[in-house]
Amino acid sequence: MDQIAIRDRREGDREWAARVMAESEPWLTLRRSYDACLASCRHPHDELHVAEIHGERCGFVLVRPQGIAGAPYIVSIAVADPFRSHGVGRDMIAFVAKRFAPRARHLFLCVSSFNTRAKAMYEREGFVEVGELPDFIIEGASERLMCRRLTPATDS
């Protein structure tokens, strides 16, 4: 696979990310409209980082730096269809982990119970399930809270 570069958002990236979300899983099953996805991409406390291959956008990660008890939380992560299964998601997670490791001990995200492929990828990247929110967004599906340790525990 070609080199993946990850950068901070630029003009037009929020709209592009919202389209990727609105046209793919899990947002289709969660019944998220483009407008709802765009509102999520515009949250004032979140950072949007975009992955590119040869200057073409291929994925994004939306991070809330002070997400859960002061630890960073990956709000959304998505890879555009033609680029899936090529390491883009893995590289974006590594980017976020490296970015926040100096100040945070943990990194969190949620994954929908029906999104088994994404959950397997998160587990390969060191996330473990730490909680479940049944029927949180839609009836019949849970959101699974996952956590990854960023830094080793220190003795106090």
Average pLDDT value over all residues in the chain? 94
Q: pLDDT tens digits, residue range 4-28?
A: 999 999 999 999 999 999 999 999 9
The predicted structure's pLDDT at residue 102: 84
CA distance linking residue 56 with residue 81, whole number of Å: 13
Q: How confident is the model at residue 153 (pLDDT cuts 50, 70, 90)?
A: low
Helix%, strand%, coil% for the chain, nearest 5: 30, 35, 35
Provide the whole-model pTM.
0.92
The whole-number pLDDT of residue 59 equals 97
Give the chain's domains with CATH numbers.
5-149 (3.40.630.30)
pLDDT of residue 115: 95
Q: What is the pLDDT of residue 90?
A: 95
